[in-house]
């Protein structure tokens, strides 16, 4: 069994590509069911965030596994393979394990130390497990990956002053508005990201006025009560644009809920002052063509991410500490994995040595039959003890001398080495 990853992220593709491969939570169970129907795939987890889509799988053949996962993406999203294949990265075995641990620990995030990814990895794993899409290998891997993320955050300062999409949205607004007083903000969506965004704006802009709208009025009211703001009916969202400086969308809608055609009706009322549209959704909820209108400025998740200060020298030491933690926990996985494969192999080798023992006794049958029962029992015990000793020596030397990635192939070779050739 092999572990592999097929993915796309902010480093390999922009939002135009990533949104086409996105898996909303609502479709994950069906997607996992379809993926696990492929012969090579024995278990899977799908992680879909605003900055990455990654498919983790346990497969019985690496090359076939890669091919099947790409075929699955093509089928599920109904888009030509050539339109996305060049943006994919593929990793297997040790590289895949380290990649997952780095993702869960935020070392692969655009903002190193950001805190959302650990929860996103956990949620992706729980959805897959509840959908019966995982197996023992993936269960162990993701449990350790989640543990790795927790340990990195608790034992290093890598998360100190870290930012998220919500805090980046605030920074974007600070750059665009010289005057921060009495900003009016229309928040479309009432989920976790909207909640964090509202709280960040309230902390940074003491006099901001937030209005929440959502398809579910009840959900909007819950958020509004929590952050002490007003709500409007979702159907009135366009009418509210003229009265708001900032319009932020964060929903799970599969397409645009802010279209240029609708905004054009308001063009005369929007010319008096700038309006910033911030789209925190994947797929995008705000038509980027609105950006072509006077005094309208649209920013996608990729634009938001560019706000980040890429000077991370102050975190270099913390990253090094995090890498040590990840290496230690990954070693725990390799030890577990090697036992899953090597211990059964050692039992097979012991069985082969039992056959060799019987072959030897039959070769010395003339001598063996002259022994009494006590002597025969002694000879059998001596040969069995010799076999056990060889197994222990093999196990000890394998762990000391073999690299993790070579352990399995060496064990397989040993099994063939101890196989009895009956025609000799």
Look-up of token digits 């996962």:
69
Identify the segments of the chain with pLDDT beneath 50.
310-312, 422-424
pLDDT for 344-374, tens place per residue? 777 777 787 888 888 888 888 888 888 888 8
pLDDT score at 424: 45
**Where are the chain's structural domains?**
2-161, 165-305, 336-417
- Contacts (Cβ under 8 Å, ≥6 apart) of 394: 346, 349, 414
d(CA 376, CA 281): 77
**Inter-residue contact 295 to 273 (CB < 8 Å):** yes
Distance of alpha carbon 326 from the chain centroid = 15
- pLDDT score at 111: 79
Position 221 scores a pLDDT of 93
Instruction: Name the CATH code of domain 2-161 (choices 3.40.50.1820, 2.30.110.10, 1.20.1260.120, 3.30.460.30).
Output: 3.30.460.30
Q: Tell me, what's the pLDDT at 345? A: 72
Superfamily of domain 165-305 in CATH is: NAD(P)-binding Rossmann-like Domain (3.40.50.720)
Tell me the C-alpha to C-alpha distance, in Å, between residue 87 and each of 17, 19, 30, 137, 149: 8, 13, 24, 27, 27
Which positions are catalytic?
50
Q: pTM of the entire structure?
A: 0.78
């Amino acid at each position: 069994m092999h572990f592999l990853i097929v993915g796309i992220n902010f480093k390999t593709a922009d939002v135009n590509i990533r949104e086409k491969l996105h898996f909303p939570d609502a479709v994950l169970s069906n997607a996992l069911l379809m993926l696990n129907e492929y012969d090579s795939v024995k278990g899977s987890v799908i992680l879909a965030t605003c900055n990455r889509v990654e498919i983790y799988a346990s497969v019985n053949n690496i090359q076939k596994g890669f091919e099947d996962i790409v075929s699955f993406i093509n089928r599920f999203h109904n888009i030509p393979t050539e339109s996305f294949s060049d943006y994919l990265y593929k990793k297997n075995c040790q590289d895949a394990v380290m990649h997952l641990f780095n993702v869960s620990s935020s070392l692969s995030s655009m903002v190193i130390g950001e805190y959302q990814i650990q929860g996103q990895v956990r949620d992706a794993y729980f959805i897959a497990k509840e959908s019966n899409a995982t197996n023992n290998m993936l269960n162990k891997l993701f449990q350790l990956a989640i543990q790795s993320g927790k340990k990195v955050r608790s034992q290093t300062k890598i998360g100190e002053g870290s930012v998220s999409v919500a805090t980046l949205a605030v920074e974007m607004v600070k750059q665009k508005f010289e005057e921060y007083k009495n900003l009016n903000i229309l928040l479309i969506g009432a989920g976790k990201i909207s909640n964090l965004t509202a709280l960040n704006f309230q902390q940074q802009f003491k006099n901001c006025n937030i209005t929440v709208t959502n398809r579910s009025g009840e959900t909007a009211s819950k958020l509004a009560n929590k952050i002490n703001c007003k709500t409007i009916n979702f159907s009135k969202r366009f009418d509210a644009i003229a009265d708001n400086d900032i319009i932020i969308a964060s929903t799970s809608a599969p397409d645009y809920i802010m279209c240029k055609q609708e905004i054009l009706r308001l063009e005369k009322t929007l010319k008096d002052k700038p309006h910033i549209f911030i789209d925190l959704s994947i797929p995008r909820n705000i038509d980027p063509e609105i950006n072509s209108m006077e005094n309208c400025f649209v920013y996608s998740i990729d634009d938001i991410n560019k706000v980040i200060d890429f000077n991370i020298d102050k975190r270099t030491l913390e990253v090094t500490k995090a890498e040590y933690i990840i290496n230690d926990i990954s070693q725990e996985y390799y030890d577990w994995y090697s036992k899953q494969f090597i211990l059964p192999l050692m039992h097979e080798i012991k069985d082969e040595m039992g056959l060799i023992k019987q072959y030897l006794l039959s070769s010395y049958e003339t001598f063996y039959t002259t022994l009494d029962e006590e002597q025969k029992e002694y000879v059998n015990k001596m040969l069995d003890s010799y076999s056990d000793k060889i197994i222990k020596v093999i196990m000890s030397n394998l762990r000391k001398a073999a690299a993790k990635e070579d352990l399995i192939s060496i064990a397989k070779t040993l099994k063939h080495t101890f196989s009895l050739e009956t025609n000799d």
